[in-house]
Structure 1
C-alpha cells in the first residue's frame, strides 16, 4: 500500500496563480484547485467581488499592471489565465492582449514558466468551427472585436518562450461535468459543440502538471 502522506511530501502540490478568478469559469478553477490541495492565489480587481473564493489568497490589483502581477507571482509554480471581456460590437478590445503581454514579462522576471491560457473556439485556426449560429450571427455581430484581441493574446503566448498551453473551449454551458473531454487539434470535421465550465476548469488544471499539450492549442469539447 502506498503511503499518501509520503507521496504528498515527494510531490508538492502546485502553487497556482489564477487570473480571471471571479468569472464563471474562474470561480470553478479556484474551487477545483483548492479541492485538489493546490496553494491558490487569485489576482482580483475587487476583494468584495472575490470574498467568496474560499481557500484562495487574494491580491487586489489590475491584471494589466506588471508590478501587481509580479507581486502575485511570488513563489508561484504556474499560472492559469481565464481572463475574459464582455461582448463589444463597436469598441476595440485590448484588455486580453495588454494583460497577457504584462503577464509574460512578469513571469519571466519571476521565473515562473508554466502558463495555461484559456481563450475560446473562434480563436486562431479554430475560427469557422463554432457551428452555424455561432459562426454566422454571434461571432460577427457581437464577438468579432473580442476575438481579434484573443488572437493577439494567443500570438503573445506563442512567442513567449514559456511552457504554455492554449485551451480553446467550445461553447460554454453550466451543465454538470461529464466523464470524457475530447481535446482536438484536427478540426477538419468538427463544427459546433459545447462543454461545461466545470470540465473546462478540470482540463485547465490538469495542464498545470501534464506536458501532453505543451506548446499546443487543443480545442476541448464533449
Structure 2
C-alpha cells in the first residue's frame, strides 16, 4: 500500500529506497537525500511514524514484509539500510539479519545492485576497538545479542553479490555535523570514538554516489 507524502517529482532524479527511515539517522539520510535531489521512497509501518519525512514517497509495511518491500523496491537505483534494533540483553535478536535476507533476495530479483548498509562499531573485525567502556561494559551487558545479529546481517550482505558498502559508525551523537569524517579500514591503534548522525548520513549518501568503498567496511568516526 502506498501513501504519497511527496510534493513534486522529477523523473530524472536518481531513485533511492531508505529502510530504517524513521530512526534518528534514517531521518537525516532522507532529508539530506531529498536536498541532494534524490527521488526518495521509505518503508514504514504507518503514516504516523513517517511524520516529518515529507518529500519522500511512503510505502506502508515493515522490513520483513516481502510484498511491501518489493513494491517499495520497484524502479529504485539504490538502497540504504539504516535499520536498527533496541538493546536486548536477554532475548535473541534476529530482525537485522532476517530483514537483510528479504532485502537481498528482492534486490537480486529486481536487478537493483547498489546497497549501502549501516551496522556499527563492534561488528566484524571492528570488535574490540570501541574503547574500554564500550568493549567491557556496554557491549557484553547490553549489546551482545544485537551485535551477534549485526554480524549475521553483514554476512548476508557480504555474500549477496550486490555492489555493497557496510558502514560502521562509532558511537552516535546528535551534535551538529562537522562536515568531515575519518573513514578507517585499518583499525590498528583505534580505540573508541564518536560521530554525529548527520555526518554519518552525509557519508552514507556519498557511498551511493561513489564506488570508493565498494565491497568494504569502513568505520566512520570524528
> What's the TM-score, normalizing by structure 2?
0.94
Deviation at 1:150, TM superposition (A): 0.1
3-state SS of 1:208 partner: helix
Secondary structure at the aligned position of 1:62 is classed as: coil
Detail structure 1 runs of 4+ shifted over 4 Å in the superposition: none
Instruction: Report the CA distance between 1:33 and its aligned residue.
Output: 0.4
Classify the secondary structure of the residue corresponding to 2:208.
coil
1:27-50 Cα offsets, whole Å, 9 max, x none, are 000000011110000011121111
* Aligned-pair CA distance for 1:91: 0.2
| Alpha-carbon distance between aligned partners in 1 of 2:78 and 2:103, rounded to the nearest angstrom | 12
- The residue that corresponds to 2:72 in the other structure is 72
Query: Cα distance, 1:216 vs. partner?
Result: 0.2
- Measured in 2, the distance between the counterparts of 1:177 and 1:148 equals 30
2: CA distance, partners of 1:179 / 1:49: 28
Provide the rounded CA distance (Å) in 1 between the counterparts of 2:51 and 2:58: 9
**Aligned positions, number:** 212
SS of the residue aligned with 1:59? strand
Alignment of structure 1 residues 145-164 onto 2, 5 Å:
145-164=145-164
- The equivalent of 2:35 in structure 1 is 35
CA distance in 1, matches of 2:162, 2:156: 10
Determine the structure 2 residue equivalent to 1:114.
114
Computed over aligned residues only, the root mean square deviation of the Cα atoms, in angstroms, reads 1.0
- Give, in whole Å, the separation in 1 of the partners of 2:163 and 2:192: 29
The normalised TM-score by structure 1 is 0.94
- CA deviation digits over 1:82-118, x for unaligned, max 9? 0000000000000000000000000011110000000
Matched-pair contact (CA < 8 Å) for 1:67–1:106: no
Structure 1 spans left out of the alignment, 5+ residues: 1-8
Distance 2:24 2:62 in 1: 19
State the match for 1:173 in structure 2.
Answer: 173
- Where does residue 95 of structure 2 map in the other structure? 95
- Provide, for residues 126-183 of structure 1, a one-character-per-residue CA deviation record: whole Å limited to 9, x for no partner: 0000011100100000000000000000000000000000000000010111132100
Aligned to 2:136: 136
Residues 21-80 of structure 1: per-residue CA shift (max 9 Å, x gap) = 000000000000011110000011121111220100000112012221110001100000
User: In the aligned structure 1, how far is the partner of 2:46 from the partner of 2:199?
Assistant: 26
Instruction: Provide the rounded CA distance (Å) in 1 between the counterparts of 2:89 and 2:205.
Output: 32
Correspondence list, 1:143-222, <5 A: 143-222=143-222
